[in-house]
Amino acid sequence: MNLIKQENYIANTWVSQGNGSFLEVFDKYTAAQIAKIPMATEAQMEQAIVAAQSAFIELKSWSAGKKSEKLWALRNKIEEHQEALAQLIVKEAGKPISYARNEVSRCITTVETAATEAVRFTGEMVPLDFGPGEGKTAFTKRFPVGPVACITPFNFPLNLLLHKIAPAIAVGCSTVVKPAPQAPLCTFALAMFMDEIGFPIGTMSALVCDIPVAEKLVKDSRMAMLSFTGSEKVGWYLKSIVGRKKVTLELGGNAAVLIDADADLKEVAKKVAVGAYIYAGQTCISTQRIFVVDAVFNEFKTLLTAEVENLKTGNPEDDAVLVGPVIDKGHVKRIEEWVNAAVENGAEVLTGGKVASEANNTFMPTLLTNTKNSMLVSCAEIFGPVAIIEPVADFKAGIEAINDSDFGLQAGVYTNSFENVKAAHENIEAGGIMINNIPGFRIDSMPYGGIKGSGLGREGIKYAMEDMTEPRLMVY
């Protein structure tokens, strides 16, 4: 089965015509063109929205068992094409093959989780048998909100799509998807699977389109919810134009890790090196800021620098490569500019700091120190293979350094002090605190999301299902 589809999927129909222009998709390492997809028109987006409305009417009446059955069928399709999907992720997203295989494995778990949650998702009993409510019984039942507009990023082109599609199916919502222009092909591969399995017309439409057509999807009052994963700038802008509908935003971060004096420094250095540079740092919870208690700072800095220099950069098809290409030349240039600006203002390059290959869009794994929080390499999300390492006086000062950020997605803490574990949980301003782990740790069933500039709401199948439904109270 050829998984590369070069057409939009609208109301269960593959459409090869668009507005006359095309989106070209390139291999991120070789720059070879791998697909050319027509850009959808506003009329085609209207067709997708109308179909989603119609599909929702049917989907919301499906039994939990039927929704679960369809999700299991989707899970099996993904497993059947596991290696082909991983290879597609390598080409369109530039993800190293070992990490791409990990993503597809996670996709199977994501859909399995949705299939099992579909048959046990529930409301709650509401205690009111007292005072004026004496003798009354009350409970809530959750109902799907309606069609969901889904906008997905390039970095996990299949799993982050499934974090929207799978919970939507599990609760009975239809979807219209606008995939990332850099990596849309996994979205259409998933549409192929769903088409074979058989869903109501309009359950999932997927279109590549320009900004005005995408804004039509976001603004349209017939779409009951927006689920967006992507950059902070775009996410908050979309929230400002979305109108009266539910919104979940999974945005960026400049994730930090804090290393206490009692940590196993050699082991932590290995994990932090991977957490900072895997997939060229192109994850929302990539370790970007490293804070080390002063007593062990120099020792850890030496250990970490050595680990970073041992990482292999290059062709993502090579099993040994951890650091593949940056998504495009524009981002390579931006990363280089941010690093150069930091150095010009006093930062020290411990390793890396330069473009590895202009032809292949690779940037050397880079570790900086003597940075200031006003530098973009620290205060903004670099989304590249760059991290900073700085000393802090003590654990409390480390927490303060982590919190000195506009973001709050996830943070990592390495300590063997239970008092410090409690202090981290109570005081770090983030959606998740990973104890004795990097901030990039994620299991697909856990609640995942941020505070401050990092977004609104939570993903993780059950939590997304809650966002895609409304509780309706009954009292008798």
56 with 147: CB under 8 angstroms? Answer: yes
DSSP count for the chain of H helices, then E strands:
15, 23
Residues of the chain by 3-state class (helix, strand, coil), percent to 5: 40, 20, 40
Q: How far from 323 is each of 98, 101, 212, CA to CA, in Å?
A: 11, 15, 35
> What is the DSSP secondary structure assignment for residue 79, as one 8-state letter?
H
Q: Which residues, including other chains, have CB under 8 Å from residue 325's CB and lie 6 or more apart?
A: 28, 29, 94, 280, 316, 360, 361, 362
Q: Which residues, including other chains, have CB under 8 Å from residue 233's CB and lie 6 or more apart?
A: none
In our burial notation (b when 16+ CB lie closer than 10 A, e otherwise), range 237-262 reads ebbeebeebbbbbbbbbbbbbbbbbe
- Specify whether 209 is catalytic: no
Q: Which residues, including other chains, have CB under 8 Å from residue 151's CB and lie 6 or more apart?
A: 177, 178, 214, 218, 226, 227, 228, 229, 230, 238
Helices in 60-210 by DSSP H: which ranges? Answer: 64-80, 82-93, 97-118, 159-171, 185-197
Residue 29, token pair as written in the block:
């390492």
Q: How far from 123 is each of 165, 180, 325, CA to CA, in Å?
A: 21, 34, 45
Map tokens 């990097």 to a residue.
438
Q: Give the Cβ contact number of residue 54 at 10 Å.
A: 17
Catalytic residue among 250, 336, 381, 390: 250
Catalytic residue among 103, 284, 459, 466: 284
> In angstroms, rounded to a whole number, what is the distance separating the alpha carbons of residues 140 and 134?
18
247 with 219: CB under 8 angstroms? Answer: no
424 with 415: CB under 8 angstroms? Answer: yes
DSSP states of 335-358: HHHHHHHHHHTT-EEEE--SEEET
> In angstroms, rounded to a whole number, what is the distance separating the alpha carbons of residues 391 and 8?
51
Residue 292 sits at φ, ψ, to 5 deg, of -125, 130
Find the angle CA(285)-CA(286)-CA(292) to the nearest 5 degrees.
105
Map tokens 């919502």 to a residue.
173
- Specify whether 150 is catalytic: no
Active site residues: 250, 284
